[in-house]
Amino acid sequence: MDLSLSEQQEMLRTTARDFLTKECPKDLVRKMLKDEKGYSVDLWKKMTDAGWMGLIIPEKYGGMGATFLDLVVLLQEMGRVCLPGPYFSNLVGALVILEGGNEIQKQEFLPRIAEGGLLLTLALCEQGTGYDLNFIKSQAIQKRDEYIIDGTKLFVENGHIADFLITIVTVKSGTTTRSKNIIPLLVGAKSTGITSTLLNILGGDKYCEVLFNNVRCPSHNLLGEPRLGTSHIEAVLRKSAVAKCAEMLGGAEMAFELSVQYAKERVQFGMPIGGFQSIQFYCAEMKIDLEAMRNLVFHAAWKISEGLPYAKESAMAKFWMNKTYRQLTLLAHQIHGAIGFTEDHELPLYYLRSKAGEFAFGDNRYQADLIATEMGLGAGRTIR
């Protein structure tokens, strides 16, 4: 299997790197971490003009119709600059509609996403549940042509600026609640009964607690069929995990490149510190980890692009990335010493991203459970 980039993907990578290096300097990243909205409207418009909002949306819905592997190339470059803003959360929203939406919903929402005029995010996690759909507590009661939603969602990325919350709930029918009745509903973020509060998150990422109190949602905003179970939701979570890995891979690359460059330039005891065996060992270990990261991520993305089963590959990539990205940034701090901990240095941004990314779409306990299930050792999940 050849995981090298095609000519078109090389062009995408070069164009994206040049654009983001110019338009997303670290000063902007730090500014947006302190900004309540969390992103630059001007940069968002430029990214939209470049077609990035609709990169994997089919052409018939106003997108570019690129492959998932193309998306990974772009996300890798975004990870290199620690791009702030709602691009990733909006991508997850688009994936849910692509995976489970009907034709009317796709025609209505996907062109608006591709145009950059619609912000979506996923409201899934709850206290004590993480990304396990079997323990969702938020409930929706169906009454005629609408659902009535009650519950609390945690770590809703960019929930304070989203137009719609793709809310994962359990449908309550009578006095019984069955796990197979877990559904995603497209809920207007400004609907009566919704309260969104920004959480104080490590690194300044914009995550919210969202409370639903008797929130009404029309029945036609259901994404997918309840009788199909949770397969389409699980598929989105697995794809999103690979996409997050791509972003994390870009950050790991930058932490590595910064460290190698510093090792060549920093002189101690009359020679560059890269001449010392311990520093050489650190750099070699980082390089090996990076190669393993890239192979796992691109292998999973390739399988998604080819329409092949990818659940195991997604979980393996995320498991390895969760552990190794953080370890790599710690080695980078060892190489840089005290200067790498200063507020103006780039390295702390990557360490914070590594910690935040570690829990996005499942930590290592969750990923290990998925891998065990794929080996026939778990209780069984509906994953493609």
CA distance 323 to 223: 34
Bridge partner list, 157: 207
pTM for the model: 0.93
What is the secondary structure of 276-317 as a DSSP string? SHHHHHHHHHHHHHHHHHHHHHHHHHHHHHTT---HHHHHHH
C-alpha 53/C-alpha 33 separation (Å) is: 22
Helices 68-81 and 7-23, axial angle in degrees (round to 10): 30
Phi, psi at 304, each rounded to 5°? -65, -45
- Nearest-10 crossing angle of helices 231-265, 347-359: 160
Composition of the chain by helix, strand, coil, percent to 5: 55, 15, 25
Q: Please enumerate in sequence order all residues whose Cβ is within 8 A of that of 192, keeping only pairs 6 or more positions apart, or say none.
A: 215, 216
CATH number of 7-118: 1.10.540.10
Distance CA 112, CA 116 (A): 6
- What is the residue whose two structure tokens read 């953080």? 326
Q: Which residue is associated with the tokens 């009359």?
A: 270
Residue 383's nearest CA partner among 375, 201, 333 is: 375
pLDDT of amino acid 135: 87
pLDDT at 340: 86
What is the per-residue pLDDT for 204? 73
Class of domain 121-228: mainly beta
pLDDT tens, residue order, the chain (384 aa): 667 899 999 999 999 999 999 999 999 999 999 899 999 999 999 999 999 999 999 999 999 999 999 999 999 999 999 999 999 999 999 999 999 999 999 999 999 999 999 999 999 999 988 898 888 999 999 998 999 999 999 999 999 999 999 999 998 765 444 445 899 999 999 999 999 999 988 767 899 999 999 999 999 999 987 666 688 999 999 999 999 999 999 999 999 999 999 999 998 898 999 899 999 999 999 999 999 999 999 999 999 999 999 999 999 999 999 999 999 999 999 999 988 888 889 999 999 999 999 999 999 999 999 999 888 886 545 443
- DSSP assignment string, 178-206: EEEEEEEEEEETT-TTEEEEE---GGG--
Determine how β-strand 139-143 pairs with β-strand 271-272: unpaired
pLDDT of residue 173: 60
Provide the pLDDT for residue 374. Answer: 87
Pairing, β 139-143 against β 146-157: antiparallel
Which segments within the chain are labelled E, that is strand? Answer: 120-123, 139-143, 146-157, 164-173, 176-188, 194-198, 207-218, 267-268, 271-272
Which class is domain 231-374? mainly alpha
- 380 exposure class (CB count in 10 Å sphere: 0-12, 13-18, 19+): exposed
Helices (H) and strands (E) in the chain, counts: 11, 9
Q: How far is CA 191 from CA 188, 196, 221, 360, in A?
A: 5, 11, 13, 26
Residues 1-53: tens digit of each pLDDT: 667 899 999 999 999 999 999 999 999 999 999 899 999 999 999 999 999 99
Dihedral sign of CA atoms 355, 357, 362, 366 in order: negative
- Sorted by where each begins, the domain ranges of the chain are 7-118, 121-228, 231-374
Phi, psi of 382 (to 5 degrees): -100, 90
Residue 111 CB-half CA count within 13 A: 8
Phi, psi of 67 (to 5 degrees): -85, 170
DSSP lists the bridge partners of residue 216 as 148
